[in-house]
Amino acid sequence: MSVKRFLVEFAVIMLAYMLCVVISSAYVSSMSDGAAKIALALLPVIPMIAMAVTIIRRLNAMDEMGRKIQLDALAVAFVCTALTTFSYGFLETAGFPRLSAFMVWPIMGGVWCVATIIGTRRYP
């Protein structure tokens, strides 16, 4: 899969994800409990599954150096996310506000992006 195709797929999936989040957020709180409410709450997961498939396809299309850069970036993202969330968990016991589990992905995704950029520059 070419980088251009990956970026187009990524953009389309992100738009679908944002649309699903808006729809889910707008209507889920007004629904009565039941299967329909659960399904609507999980609606944004569908484009995220598509995102996972797209990322895996892109990784499988990379050469060894690209895979090494991504593995290193994911390892750094995993460690930074684990340390950040673990540390913040202790800070919550000291009175810091509780944070949603939704905060894990932005941390991991952000560090993954930065580590990928650094890795790409390290191996020109």
Q: Tens place of pLDDT for every residue, the chain, 124 residues?
A: 788 999 999 999 999 999 999 999 999 999 999 999 999 999 999 999 999 999 999 999 999 999 999 999 999 999 999 999 999 999 999 999 999 888 899 999 999 999 999 999 998 7
Does residue 57 sit in the same domain as residue 68?
Answer: no
Same domain, 75 and 93: yes
Domain around 1: 1-61
Domain count along the chain: 2
Q: Is the pTM of this model over 0.85?
A: no
- Domain identity same for 2 and 40: yes
Residues 41, 75: one domain? no
Query: Is there a contact between 28 and 37 (Cβ–Cβ < 8 Å)?
Result: yes
Domain shared by 104 and 49, yes or no? no
Helix ranges restricted to H, the chain: 3-27, 35-41, 45-61, 64-93, 104-122
